[in-house]
Copies of this chain bind each other. A is one copy, B any other.
Amino acid sequence: MLKAKARESRFVPPPKLPPPTPVVDVGDAEMRLAQDLLFFAYRGFTNVADQVLEEPGLGRAHHRALHFIGRNPGITVSGLLAILRITKQSLARVLNALVDQDYVRQAPGYEDRRLRLLTLTDKGQALEARLFGAQRERIAQAYRTAGPQAVQGFRAVMRAMMDKGARDYMDGTGSPEDA
């Protein structure tokens, strides 16, 4: 006997199907569409990197760390935490793996020696380049397909979609701590 029956002792007769999630006004349809767009586009974008990550046996968390260290050489652990918004314990797991496997190097801060300044090793730069290469292809193709006009719109909407902290980080206005 199916345990599913415990969940619903007998299948009820097929109900009249309700209409799809109700669209109250014209705007709603657009918003529903945007939900789908974000989900599928983000998945497509991340999937291409996953393939590259398989070889060294790393995960997306490692990719993110690699990416932001690459973009911010000499960033501190706190800075990276502020960007990623995860706990230091979560970051530690990932960062230790990257350091152990010689993708990332730590150096003490110049004036404040409590700081650990993070940089990519050559090996780390090489891996990041491969990851970037995969995603760049996908982005470039999307940009080509959509056209330069569309790219501007894309950027504007994406910028407006993120929270202020992230926007500030992207603007370079303020240290990564503001992200």
Contacts and interface: CB of A to CB of B under 8 A. Distances in A.
Counting every copy of the chain, the complex holds 2
Interface in A64-113: 64, 67, 70-74, 85, 96, 99-100, 105-110
A150 interface: yes
A142 B119 contact: no
B119 A18 contact: yes
A7 B99 contact: yes
Interface of A: 4, 7-8, 11-15, 17-21, 27-28, 30-45, 47, 64, 67, 70-74, 85, 96, 99-100, 105-110, 117, 119-120, 125, 128-129, 132, 135-136, 138-143, 145-147, 149-163, 166-167, 169-170
